[in-house]
Amino acid sequence: MSTLEKISEQRSFDGVQGIYRHTSTTCAGPMRFAVYQPPQAEKGRCPVLYYLAGLTCTEETATIKAGAQRLASELGLILVMPDTSPRGTNIDGATGDWEFGEGAGFYLDATQAPWSKNFRMYSYIVDELPALIAENFPIDAARSSIFGHSMGGHGALTIALKNPHRYRSVSAFAPIVAPSQVPWGLKALPRYLGEDTPTWADYDACELVRKQTFPGTILIDQGEADQFLEGQLKPELFDQACAEAGQELLLRRQAGYDHSYWFISTFMEDHLRHHAAALALA
């Protein structure tokens, strides 16, 4: 297990908000993540909720903008916010395009060179990071949940559907639900996974839910004024797939809201309470 380096820690709502760094074996380089420990963590183990951010974001984005700490403190939730990709990979083409490469890891394990060495965010989120968190923070690993936004919503949905007994609950804000069918995915998936399109289904929530449902209701909030709604997100495709698969889904369309963290911070409390109920906190 790699050594954890503390970058910063600040008091927040009687808990501690920290930013940390370690050398990842999965991603073959340094990775950063944020952890919020509520005051209850000083006395015992707490359930853990992983938040996966979207394109261009880092471990600081939701930490600063989502406004989750106040309620996490009240509920006794440890929040973990990882970065969205490895950094400093020195791979030609890994920077300069906000839709691909660094800042756009898509929470998958790349199989194509040169991406396959570093871009293994699926294994990082599912295996390496939880083990590191369990070793260094007072979590109750048996009570884990996951959520995310946009590309991170895609990550949360696909990871939960592929590991339905690892997470007590899953939710998403404006997720990419069908990357195999939208421009963001059609740019990233061939470069990370190759042109063999059947392999893309392993990272497509619409395809996965038809094979394996998630125990419990999936919560999704989608702003109706989201500039990416029609071209990139297409929540109706996941709604249809869930209906066909018998998956319980609460898809809430929020009038007037866009893709920003103003939208996320507005409905963050609902999502935290959704997870708290599944984690036996509410």
pLDDT digits (tens, 9 = 90+) for 169-212: 999 999 999 999 999 999 999 999 999 889 999 999 999 999 99
Mean pLDDT to the nearest integer, 262-267 = 98
Residue 61 pLDDT: 98
**In the chain, what percentage of residues exceed pLDDT 70?**
99
pLDDT digits (tens, 9 = 90+) for 85-101: 999 999 999 999 999 99
- Over 70: is that where the pLDDT of 40 sits? yes
Alpha carbon 265 to its chain's center: 16
User: What's the token pair of residue 279?
Assistant: 């984690």
As a whole number, the mean pLDDT across the chain is: 97
Residue 281 pLDDT: 72
Name the CA radius of gyration of the chain, rounded: 17
Catalytic residue numbers read 150, 226, 259
Residue 122 pLDDT: 98
Sheet with 139-149, strands from edge to edge, namely 5-12, 15-24, 29-37, 78-82, 46-52, 139-149, 170-173, 218-223, 249-254
Residue 280 pLDDT: 86
- Over 70: is that where the pLDDT of 229 sits? yes
Q: Spell 243-266 as b/e; 16+ CB within 10 A means b.
A: eebebebebeebeebbbebebbeb
Residue 282 pLDDT: 52
User: Which band of pLDDT confidence, cut at 50, 70 and 90, is reported for residue 138?
Assistant: very high
Residue 146 pLDDT: 98
> DSSP string spanning 207-258?
HHHHH---SSPEEEEEETT-TTIIIII-HHHHHHHHHHHT--EEEEEETT--
Residue 1 pLDDT: 57
pLDDT digits (tens, 9 = 90+) for 185-197: 999 999 999 998 8
Mean pLDDT to the nearest integer, 5-20 = 98
